[in-house]
Amino acid sequence: MTTKPERHEPGQLLYDPVTGRVGEYRDRVGPRAMLRPVGGGLEWEADPDTLRPATDRERLGASVRAANHRAASVPSLPPPLDDASRPPRPVPGCGDCARLAEQRQAARAEHDRSAESDANVLLRQHQGKEHRA
């Protein structure tokens, strides 16, 4: 007497002993079952007769691996600004530097990032001509 293979429901987490992985059951394609890694990824084919429901421990392990993978793929904080990326500081006592810094501050107050950037460029150009030895 042969037993009929267990019917799996889409979304059910199953253990594939051939690959040693837990996957989310998607559907059957011909005689093969399609599984997707927990947390997403490339599906794989498995023999539906060898699949079994994943244990609590196996489900937890697969979830932890998926969370670790997501955390590793999240971009880290941007690198610190170098001197060329920082807004230039006006030279104390220089009227032109003060005027350009005020122009930049007014642009910031208006949320005009283009004018703010222009003021930074002009201030750097001025400092390169007038304040570099």
As a whole-number percent, the residues of the chain with pLDDT over 90 amount to 69
Span 88-114, average pLDDT: 93
Show the DSSP H helices in 1-133 as ranges: 56-73, 95-109, 113-130
pLDDT value at 110 more than 90: yes
Whether the pLDDT of residue 101 is over 90: the answer is yes
Position 71 scores a pLDDT of 83
Q: Distance between the two ends of the chain, CA-based, in angstroms?
A: 96
Question: What are the tens digits of pLDDT across the range 15-36?
Answer: 999 999 999 999 999 999 999 9
Give the C-alpha separation, 31 to 47, whole Å.
Answer: 8
